């Protein structure tokens, strides 16, 4: 494989260039095109970067055709069955699963750094009461650089570690405060005696006037969702974190940029869009009419929660999350949830329809995750925030990987210019 090359021929000039091939551990080889502009004066054109490897990474591997997702070589199915989000966060950050001592130390570091500066909490009062939680989370994360600037030397490994622990620990607190702001309820401080997900639920639902007891199944379901959403290779938000971070910007700015990118309905907002779609359908009887609109290219109606830009067959995360969905609804007395019934029937019909079969439109992770969040009492406006809490572990891991690489460069995509050719300025009196 080391000797494998592609040859590029300029037919007009007869000039040839050898393009070396780089091979990863698994997955498709990549053609190194770095010399194209130097040798031929051309760039490649790849809208959406669907055929371009923008970086080299050791963190996550996806095989969309086979429905494979691995974190650091571990299949997502095994991690979902046996691990915890905190252990997965450690794995993503450090490359290996921790031993008991390492996991204990990491867990304590996260548990004991959950509080945020009181001045940051007072900033929430400056937001409108009905501001979208993602707007608040993005702003607060960016503002953290004004409070923790004593440890923001990106070239210092210890500072990078402190940042990683700090942002993973504090994002649930920041997110819960955004939720409480929308409700007009007092902020609830984190508790050091609770695990990561139990603490998050506590900060969401506890009130000063009565004790709150975390449902173990709710915490388990939330932990599973965080594992499944922890990383997903070079997606839009992760690429945004890398691109922003490549400038040398402080890490809080880079993560804030990732939060903003995740906000888009085509990305982190997809599970919110699924629930909106189900509510628009209304009843099982309306499914045929809705699917007919989906097939009509002039209707602009989309089937949300089905298909994926990466997975060309079944999303491996969807199989795992579907089981948990049933457990949560059964335990919480919501097994008769009309949205679940509607979702199941929609899935059944769509999977038997030749139109969707031919296009390999299978349920993805967003299809059921929104229903679970709803069953846990999490409002729709907070769905993307929950995604951000999970994905922060992946974002930080990618940022760390990039910054610690001595050969990293500032991101600078090229373009195909199609604007006006050179022209002369015309004085306003002659226009």
pLDDT tens readout for residues 212-248: 999 999 999 999 999 999 999 999 999 999 999 999 9
Q: How far apart are CA 375 and CA 328, in angstroms?
A: 7
Task: For residue range 352-382, list pLDDT tens digits in order.
Answer: 889 988 888 888 888 888 888 988 889 889 9
The mean-pLDDT minimum among 63-67, 113-117, 181-185, 385-389 falls in 63-67
User: Is 58 part of a structural domain of the chain?
Assistant: no
Alpha carbons 379 and 279: distance in angstroms, whole number = 14
**CA gap 42, 54 in Å, rounded:** 18
Distance of CA 276 to the CA centre of its chain: 20
Q: Are residues 49 and 166 in the same domain?
A: no
Are 240 and 379 members of one domain? yes
Same-domain status, 14 and 157: no
**Collapsed DSSP state (helix, strand, coil) of residue 8:** strand
In a 13 Å sphere around the CA of 222, the CA atoms on its Cβ side amount to 27
Do 203 and 334 fall within a single domain? yes
The CATH number for 37's domain is 2.20.28.60
The dihedral region occupied by 184, where left means phi > 0, alpha psi between -120 and 50, and beta the remainder, is: left
Please identify which of the residues 223, 231, 315, 366 carries the catalytic annotation: 366
Q: What are phi and psi of 11, to 5 degrees?
A: -60, -35
pLDDT of res. 333:
63
Residue of 308, 353, 398, 405 marked active site: 308
141 and 30: one domain? no
- Told to judge if 366 belongs to the known catalytic residues of this protein, a careful annotator would answer yes
Question: Is residue 399 in some structural domain?
Answer: yes
The DSSP secondary-structure symbol of 129 reads T
- Is residue 153 helix, strand or coil? coil
Sign of the CA dihedral running 348, 354, 356, 362: positive
Q: What is the CATH number of the domain that holds 320?
A: 1.10.580.10
Assess whether 240 and 106 both reside in one domain. yes
**Percent of the chain scored above 90 by pLDDT?**
60
In a domain, 73, yes or no: no
Domain membership of residue 64 (yes or no) is no
Q: Is the pLDDT of residue 350 over 90?
A: no
Considering the domain architecture, whether residues 302 and 381 belong to the same structural domain is answered as yes
Q: Mean pLDDT, the chain, as a whole number? A: 91
User: What is the pLDDT at residue 335?
Assistant: 63
Residues 190 and 250 both lie in one domain: yes
Residue 211: per-residue pLDDT = 93
Q: What would the two tokens of residue 59 be?
A: 């963190």
Residue range 237-263: mean pLDDT, rounded: 96
Q: What are the helix and strand counts (H, E) for the chain?
A: 18, 6
**Position 261 in a domain:** yes
- Residues 98, 141, single domain; the answer is yes
For the chain, the domain total comes to 2
Does residue 69 lie in a domain region?
no
Residues 30 and 116 in one domain: no
Burial of 422 (0-12, 13-18, 19+ CB in 10 A): exposed
Average pLDDT of span 6-10: 85
Instruction: Give residue 1's pLDDT band: very low, low, confident or very high (50, 70, 90).
Output: very low
Does residue 27 sit within a domain? yes
The predicted pLDDT at position 431 comes to 93
In a domain, 276, yes or no: yes
Strand-pairing partners, residue 74, are 71
The overall pTM is greater than 0.85: yes
Does 150 qualify as catalytic in the annotation?
Answer: no
pLDDT digits (tens, 9 = 90+) for 92-103: 999 999 999 999
Q: For residues 116 and 79, what is the distance between their CA atoms, to the nearest angstrom?
A: 30
Q: Which of 273, 362, 364, 279 is nearest to 321 (CA)?
A: 364
Host domain of residue 48: 5-53
Both tokens of residue 119? Answer: 């001045």
Same domain, 220 and 112: yes
Same-domain check for residues 112 and 226: yes
């Amino acid at each position: 494989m080391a000797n494998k090359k592609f040859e590029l021929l300029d037919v007009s000039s007869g000039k040839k260039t050898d393009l070396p091939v780089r091979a990863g551990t698994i997955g498709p080889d990549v053609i190194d095109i770095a010399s194209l502009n130097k040798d031929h004066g051309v760039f490649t054109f790849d809208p959406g970067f669907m055929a371009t490897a923008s970086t080299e990474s050791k963190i996550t591997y996806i095989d969309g055709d086979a429905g494979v997702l691995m974190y650091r070589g571990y299949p997502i199915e095994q991690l979902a069955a046996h691990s915890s989000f905190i252990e997965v966060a450690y794995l993503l950050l450090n490359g290996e699963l921790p031993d008991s001592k390492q996991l204990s130390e990491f867990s304590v570091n996260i548990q004991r750094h959950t509080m945020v500066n009181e001045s940051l909490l007072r900033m929430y009062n400056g937001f409108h009461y009905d501001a979208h939680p993602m707007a608040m989370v993005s702003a607060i994360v960016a503002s953290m650089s004004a409070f923790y600037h004593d440890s923001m030397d990106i070239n210092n490994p210890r500072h990078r570690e402190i940042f990683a622990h700090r942002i993973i620990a504090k994002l649930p607190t920041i997110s819960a405060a955004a939720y409480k702001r929308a409700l007009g309820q007092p902020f609830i401080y984190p508790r050091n005696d609770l695990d990561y997900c139990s603490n998050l639920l506590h900060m969401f639902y506890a009130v000063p006037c009565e004790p709150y007891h975390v449902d173990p199944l709710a915490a388990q379901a939330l932990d599973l969702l965080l594992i499944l959403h922890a990383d997903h290779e070079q997606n839009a938000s992760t690429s945004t974190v890398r691109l922003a971070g490549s400038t040398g910007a402080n890490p809080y700015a880079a993560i804030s940029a990732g939060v903003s990118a995740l906000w888009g309905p085509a990305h982190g907002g997809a599970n919110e869009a699924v629930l909106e779609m189900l509510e628009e359908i209304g009843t099982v009887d309306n499914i045929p009419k809705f699917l007919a609109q989906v097939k009509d290219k002039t209707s602009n109606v989309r089937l949300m929660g089905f298909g994926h830009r990466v997975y060309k067959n079944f999303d491996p995360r969807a199989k795992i999350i579907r089981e948990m969905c049933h457990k949560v609804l059964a335990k919480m007395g919501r097994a008769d949830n009309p949205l679940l019934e509607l979702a199941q029937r929609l899935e059944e019909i769509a999977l038997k329809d030749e139109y969707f079969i031919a296009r390999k439109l299978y349920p993805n992770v967003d299809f059921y995750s929104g229903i679970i969040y709803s069953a846990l009492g999490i409002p729709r406006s907070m769905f993307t925030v929950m995604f951000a809490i999970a994905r922060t572990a992946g974002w930080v891991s990618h940022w760390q990987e990039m910054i610690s690489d001595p050969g990293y460069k500032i991101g600078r995509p090229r373009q195909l210019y199609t604007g006006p050719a050179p022209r002369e300025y015309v004085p306003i009196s002659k226009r």
